[in-house]
């Protein structure tokens, strides 16, 4: 009798460099590639129309990739701890393989699945594949988890790496098994006016080839350039359409300062996965207890002005509008808009985390939470809070000196002269008329005064974290 295993896909929607799929195909005669539509994720705390649409299209691409190998993707709906034992019983599957993850939800779900499979006499086989290295391993010399990036990077880069795996030569699936159906979700174009990238492994691999073939060489010098310089691979990495381990290896093989800087940046993703794995309470609470009493304002109008990109600060508005249109935002802009929400508007970082989880195609719990706590100065890798109060005007001058990014995403400012573009509210009435941009009518006046709010932030943070004598 032919032996059978299930490969449970989650956010690893690819055929290449997929340890779980590779191992199952090596050990068993037949493999059932399976995706489970879990309503707890589709409609849960971090539900996202754009990201769901991206996922569904990536599933269709995966189905086509598996078909090229002689297989296909099977789809079921329900709770994994119920679906997997039931399907194993129907098909005689002896094992279930999957790619392990780090979020509290994923860990609890996988424990429940492992227990249910054990009761059914089915082997549970978690595998690597979501990160460059094993994020559970790094420790300080005293054996403690690492909470500052640079020491983590020094440990992580020396860890043993698994080999990058090819796609299986063939995927043999059982005959006459109901494949289920990938639902018709909202078209990506309906969710995002200008979607950042085309979902799925095929396009992801093309983009990776293009990035490694040359642009990565300039990464060290250009990664903060708001009009370019980054790989743009983050949504595909988040959904596992390409493996972060393969991305890392391809960059290392390319070599050079740009590739080295890029590999180091990839390690931040491993770092935040390590942090969330070691400190799961971070998903809801500030890592630094002293900041759990920090005073936050509640202002629905200010929050909406931030979400919609109508704060009157050009760089903040450009970043937020890029997010609304594409489901992506340049990392430098993410830092600026995050600082503005938490330290100019004094709104809870969790509001920003929730909005990014709703809108970003690349949002994932560990990285999104880590980045928001970083910019709010409440998380790991601490720096004095006053060093992370970003001045949006100075940031704009430095990283969009010609105004190309601003004029693209905030077209109301297209006619504003460069010398006024960082602070358009300082234009005289005559200048406003000449630029075709009347402040308060064509473009909003600033919703707050950065200089004033910076002082408020200093007072609030100092109140819960007074300077040491």
pLDDT category of residue 439 using cuts at 50, 70 and 90:
very high
Last residue of a domain, one of 114, 130, 146: 130
Tell me if 395 sits within 8 A of 423, measured CB to CB.
Answer: no
Is residue 248 one of the residues assigned to a domain?
Answer: yes
Is residue 192 one of the residues assigned to a domain?
Answer: no
Tell whether 447 and 301 lie within a shared domain: yes
Q: Output the pLDDT for position 469.
A: 45
Tell whether 239 and 296 lie within a shared domain: no
Tell whether 54 and 121 lie within a shared domain: yes
Tell whether 305 and 253 lie within a shared domain: no
CATH of the domain at 210: 1.25.40.80
Tell whether 257 and 117 lie within a shared domain: no
Mean pLDDT of the chain: 95
Tell me if 377 sits within 8 A of 385, measured CB to CB.
Answer: yes
Tell whether 153 and 48 lie within a shared domain: no
Q: Output the pLDDT for position 466.
A: 74
Mean pLDDT of 214-240: 95
Tell whether 266 and 302 lie within a shared domain: no
Tell whether 314 and 448 lie within a shared domain: yes
Q: Is the pLDDT of residue 467 over 80?
A: no
DSSP three-state, residue 5:
strand
Is residue 364 one of the residues assigned to a domain?
Answer: yes
Is residue 196 one of the residues assigned to a domain?
Answer: no
As to burial, measured by CB atoms within 10 angstroms (0-12 exposed, 13-18 middle, 19+ buried), residue 84 is buried
Q: Is the pLDDT of residue 209 over 50?
A: yes
Report the domain count for the chain.
3
Mean pLDDT of 247-275: 98
Is residue 52 one of the residues assigned to a domain?
Answer: yes
Q: Output the pLDDT for position 381.
A: 78
Q: Return the minimum-mean-pLDDT range out of 38-42, 148-152, 361-365.
A: 38-42
What does the buried/exposed string (b/e) look like for 242-265 if buried means 16 or more CB atoms within 10 Å of the residue's CB?
A: bbbbbbbbbbeebeeebbbbbbbb
Tell whether 305 and 424 lie within a shared domain: yes
Tell me if 254 sits within 8 A of 261, measured CB to CB.
Answer: no
Tell whether 245 and 386 lie within a shared domain: no
Mean pLDDT of 397-407: 97
**pLDDT tens digits, 17-56:** 999 999 999 999 999 999 999 988 887 777 888 999 999 9
Supply the range of the domain harboring residue 353: 289-463
**pLDDT tens digits, 61-106:** 999 999 999 999 999 999 999 999 999 999 999 999 999 999 999 9
Please indicate whether residue 191 or residue 289 has the higher confidence score (pLDDT): 289
Q: Is the pTM of this model over 0.85?
A: yes
Is residue 432 one of the residues assigned to a domain?
Answer: yes
Mean pLDDT of 235-241: 98
Tell me if 308 sits within 8 A of 399, measured CB to CB.
Answer: no
Is residue 177 one of the residues assigned to a domain?
Answer: no
CATH of the domain at 333: 1.10.579.10
Measured CA to CA in angstroms, residue 11 lies from 115, 167, 364, 409 at distances of 22, 17, 10, 31
């Amino acid at each position: 009798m032919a032996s059978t295993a299930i490969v449970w896909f989650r956010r690893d929607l690819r055929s290449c460099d997929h340890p779980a799929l590779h191992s199952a195909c090596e050990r068993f005669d037949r493999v059932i590639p399976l995706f489970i539509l879990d309503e707890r994720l589709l409609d849960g705390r971090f539900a996202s129309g754009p990201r769901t649409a991206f996922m569904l299209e990536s599933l269709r691409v995966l189905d086509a990739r598996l078909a090229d190998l002689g297989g296909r993707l099977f789809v079921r709906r329900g709770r994994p701890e119920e679906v997997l034992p039931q399907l194993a019983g129907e098909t005689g599957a002896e094992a279930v393989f999957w790619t392990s993850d780090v979020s509290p939800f994923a860990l609890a779900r996988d424990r429940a699945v492992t227990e249910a499979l054990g009761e059914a006499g089915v082997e549970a086989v978690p595998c690597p594949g979501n990160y460059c290295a094993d994020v559970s391993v790094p420790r300080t010399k005293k054996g403690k988890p690492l909470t500052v990036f640079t020491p983590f990077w020094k440990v992580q880069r020396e860890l043993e790496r698994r080999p990058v795996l090819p796609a299986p030569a063939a995927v043999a699936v059982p005959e006459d098994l109901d494949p289920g159906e990938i639902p018709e979700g909202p078209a990506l174009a309906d969710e995002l006016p200008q979607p950042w990238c085309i979902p799925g492994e095929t396009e992801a691999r093309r983009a990776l080839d293009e990035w490694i073939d040359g642009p990565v060489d300039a990464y060290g010098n250009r990664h903060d350039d708001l009009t370019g310089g980054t790989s743009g691979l983050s949504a595909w990495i988040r959904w596992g359409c390409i493996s972060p381990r393969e991305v890392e290896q391809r960059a290392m093989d390319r070599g050079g300062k740009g590739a080295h800087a890029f590999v180091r940046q990839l390690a931040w993703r491993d770092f935040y996965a390590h942090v969330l794995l070691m400190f799961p309470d971070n998903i809801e609470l500030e890592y630094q207890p002293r900041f759990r009493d920090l005073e936050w304002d509640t202002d629905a109008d200010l929050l909406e002005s931030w979400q919609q990109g109508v704060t009157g600060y050009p760089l903040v508005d450009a970043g937020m509008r890029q997010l609304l249109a594409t489901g992506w935002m340049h990392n430098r802009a993410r830092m600026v808009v995050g600082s503005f929400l938490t330290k100019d508007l004094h709104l809870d970082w969790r509001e920003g985390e929730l909005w990014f989880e709703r809108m970003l195609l690349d949002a994932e719990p560990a990285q999104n939470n880590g980045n928001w706590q970083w910019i709010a100065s409440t998380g790991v890798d601490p720096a004095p809070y006053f060093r992370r109060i970003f001045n949006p005007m100075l940031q704009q001058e430095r990283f969009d000196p010609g105004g190309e990014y601003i004029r693209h995403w905030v077209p109301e400012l297209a006619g504003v002269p460069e010398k006024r573009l960082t602070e358009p509210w300082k234009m005289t009435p005559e200048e406003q008329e000449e630029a075709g941009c009347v402040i308060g009518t064509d473009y909003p006046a600033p919703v707050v005064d950065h200089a004033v709010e910076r002082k408020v932030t200093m007072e609030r943070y100092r109140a819960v974290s007074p300077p040491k004598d």
